[in-house]
Structure 1
Amino acid sequence: MHPHPLRPRQPTPNQRQIHEALHRVHSAQETTEWKEQCAMRAGVEGVISQAAWAVGLRRYRYCVTDKAPRQHALTAAAINIGRADAWLTGTPYASTCTSRIAGLQTAAD
């Protein structure tokens, strides 16, 4: 039997639980504690991404030997030197992507 087209459909208990869980998560995301954790996690993910793509850590040279930890330590040192240089000179390390709509808005202003 099909529901009446003019009568609103009542949510099932499972849908209600999902909605309440989403509401709890969204309200938790507004706290300062969650924002601090998210900022820390974003910083760590940025360093890992930089190590993987900019420095090429995924393609390390010494797969089987004892030299792999040395390469990882030198890669970490190179990343730290690059970040310290960017901080001391005041240059932004990465540019923020601008959406096409935001680019059009700034071009129109």
Structure 2
Amino acid sequence: MAQLLSCANNIEDDVKVFREALQLCPPDHFRQSVCLYNLATSLHNKFRQRGVLSDLDEAIELHRAALLLRPPGHSGGSMSLNNLAASLQYRFEQRGVLSNLDEAIELH
């Protein structure tokens, strides 16, 4: 049980640290997509633990932004596509908006 509580607290720390890293990363920096991706992934994980839909919505926005910085052929492109699709699928499961599922399928 203590380990589960530790994980729950760590997700808040992860989100905070990745938010700070994103704020410190200039928009044109070559690591911008990584900062966006890390924060999006942490927010997605936080949503899975806590079920707060605004975390999932923000994760989707950030995954989209990271993907824009990862053109076809980029080494992190497939991970961005997969995680955006997974977040959209979770949102479909929560809200039942078919366009979220359609987009998830297209991205996969």
Which structure exhibits the higher relative contact order, with contacts defined as CA atoms closer than 8 Å and separated by 6 or more residues? 2
When Rg is computed on C-alpha atoms for both structures, the one with the higher figure is: 1
More helix by share: 2
Answer yes or no: same fold by TM over 0.5: no
* Smaller-chain TM-score bracket: under 0.3
Give TM-score, length-normalised by structure 1.
0.27
